[in-house]
Structure 1
């Protein structure tokens, strides 16, 4: 359940989930790591906060996760309408989804190519600028509530040859992590983060975070000396996106 809520962007961290269901963060951590079973308090808190969760599924693994159709449960605020060439669902952030016959969804997002990075640093809040960008699609498992877009990869610092690494020229589907969640820290992201710094667009791992100073350590995966770790402060950061999917 916790992983599902994270994937859908309903919650962004262990601490937020703990606050939502009124238990301690340490309790959620222990349960997620399998060190202890969920007691009655977190179960009651989850059912009180997320009323569409099926109690039988939660307690005994019986039936469906939700008491009603998954599509409706995930995004009860979604608006369905028809454009010129497709019927779509639109979340509150304006991202459009089309349901496929296999139960998956196609999400349509604006793509920011490398050549437009400089303009984005100036006009990232300019709706007209974003509307002029090319629209592309990715196939995803769920209809999400977050704010999504696509970045083109420049450079090879995130390609160390591992299965989760990303070569230059790839397209990244990303979901924004709202600024009020930054103070909670940054969960592991298998594909990395896109960081909109005031002077550049970065595609890195976030290796460490100092809550007192607001410093984050940015790390590459290439293993090359020219891609050494470096530190930036969140006061100089405009946006942070978690990489959800990549296409090569």
Structure 2
């Protein structure tokens, strides 16, 4: 007879089961992770919001990746397991979820490693990134996903669409032909622009066909942040921002 499976779409319940499997109290786990007892009690609630640094510590303690922790499921015997099999595409690892969604663990380019990433593109030698960041996406996409750490406040206007300093965004790579054809559907959206000397996050508001350039806009209207035109020849890669983590 096949057992009925109770599936949990978040890692909060799995943390409790993994802790119990190791015969740990909440106080024991709190001590191992370096947080308070109250913090662990909150983490084991369904609506908990766990900071990425603490989530990383918890996953590592149970010898799991963050993705594996997120996709832990619990059967009626209160045993944790992973039913879905991950797969790799364009340098990212995808974990199938319910309703056609995926947890994608994408290579993360931190601010201090931007120059290394640019050099790897110039030399056509982008290897496996040391860092990853996880996002839930609704589709795979034909091109690569990359995660970028934002530097500076030029895209922070305090609104719901703001992208503040140190935010992590997930970008879906677009082909250069989208820019060269002056695709109007690309306008008024945030993008990561990987240039020859820097990586920036800007809104593209239009195209200058005569100068073969795109109009880049800052959300922050402070005088120190000026809008500008960026020649297409200076752009190595372009990613549409599809998700963000603050």
Q: Same fold (TM over 0.5)?
A: yes
Change (3 A) 1:122 1:171: same
Can you list the C-alpha shifts for 1:22-50, whole angstroms capped at 9, x where unaligned? xxxxxxxxxxxxxxxxxxxxxxxxxxxxx
Say if 2:106 is the partner of 1:109.
Answer: yes
Matched, 1:225 2:223: yes
Offset of residue 237 of structure 1: 1.3
Matches within 5 A, 1:197-208: 197-208=195-206
Contact 1:189-1:242 within 8 A present in 2 as well: no
Once the two structures are TM-superposed, the CA of residue 212 in structure 1 deviates from its matched residue by 3.3
**d(CA) in 1 for partners of 2:169, 2:187:** 13
Q: Rg: which structure is higher?
A: 2
Instruction: Give the Å deviation of 1:184.
Output: 2.2
Q: 1:135-158 deviations in whole A, cap 9, x for unaligned?
A: 221111223222111000100110
Whether the 8 Å CA contact 2:187–2:206 is kept in 1: the answer is no
Q: TM-score scaled by structure 1?
A: 0.60
Q: Tell me if structure 2 keeps the 8 A contact 1:193–1:241.
A: yes
1:147 aligns with 2:124: no
Q: Which ranges in structure 2 are unaligned for 5 or more consecutive residues?
A: 1-82
- Over 3 Å counting, the alpha-carbon distance change for 1:135 and 1:127 in structure 2 is farther
Residues of 2 paired with 1:150 and 1:231: CA distance?
24
List aligned pairs for 1:85-124, cutoff 5 A: 87-91=85-89, 93-101=90-98, 103-124=100-121
Q: Is the aligned partner of 1:131 residue 2:137?
A: no
1:146-165 matched pairs, under 5 angstroms: 146-165=143-162
Kindly state the Cα deviation for residue 221 of structure 1 after the two structures are TM-superposed.
Answer: 0.5
Q: Distance in 2 between matches of 1:247 and 1:183?
A: 30
Q: RMSD between aligned alpha carbons?
A: 2.4
User: Is the contact between residue 217 and residue 231 of structure 1 (CA under 8 Å) also seen in structure 2?
Assistant: yes
What corresponds to 1:239 in structure 2? 237
Structure 1 residue 189 displacement after superposition: 6.1
CA distance in 1, matches of 2:105, 2:178: 25
Q: Once the two structures are superposed, what CA deviation does each residue of 1:75-132 show, in whole Å capped at 9, x if it has no partner?
A: xxxxxxxxxx9722344x3433111245421012100000001112211366765413
Residues 182-241 of structure 1 show CA distances to partners (whole Å, capped at 9, x for unaligned) of 222253466511111111111111122112321112110011011011112101111111
Instruction: Name the count of aligned residue pairs.
Output: 164
State the 4+ residue runs in structure 1 displaced beyond 6 angstroms: none
- Corresponding residue SS for 1:122: helix
Question: Contact between 2:190 and 2:203, CA under 8 Å: does it hold in 1?
Answer: yes
List aligned pairs for 1:15-94, cutoff 5 A.
87-91=85-89, 93-94=90-91
The normalised TM-score by structure 2 is 0.60
- The verdict on how the C-alpha distance between 1:86 and 1:133 changes in structure 2, with shifts beyond 3 A counting, is farther
Q: Distance in 1 between matches of 2:130 and 2:123?
A: 12
